[in-house]
Amino acid sequence: MRGFIRIDTELCKGCYLCRSVCPHDLISVCDRLNQKGYYPAKYSEEEIEIEEHVCNGCALCAIVCPDIAIEVYRG
């Protein structure tokens, strides 16, 4: 099953708990600041086709996010 996530970069405060729980290491740190002055988390598979995604939609990142900034989609 393929899945993907969307991170609301304006809600993210850069705690990076999502990075620590992603089993496929698909979340990194964005190189741009958001409006609050944080470097938000970034999903690395945003630019590729869904068929090539490694994310399985396990939702561990969304569960651990204290800012409720991650939405999970399961294919």
CATH of the domain at 38: 3.30.70.20
Token pair of 65, please? Answer: 């996010």
- What is the reported pLDDT for 32? 96
- What is the reported pLDDT for 23? 96
Domains: count for the chain: 1
- For the segment 43-54, the average pLDDT, to the nearest whole number, is 89
The Cα–Cα gap between 4 and 9 comes to 16
Q: What is the pLDDT of residues 2-40, one digit of tens each?
A: 899 999 999 999 999 999 999 999 999 999 999 999 999
Residue span of the structural domain in which 53 resides = 3-74
Phi-psi region of 72 (alpha: psi -120 to 50; beta: other; left: phi over 0): beta
The Cα–Cα gap between 18 and 62 comes to 7
- For the segment 41-70, the average pLDDT, to the nearest whole number, is 94
Q: Is the pLDDT of residue 47 over 80?
A: yes
Contact 41, 19 (CB under 8 A): yes
Q: What is the pTM of this model?
A: 0.91
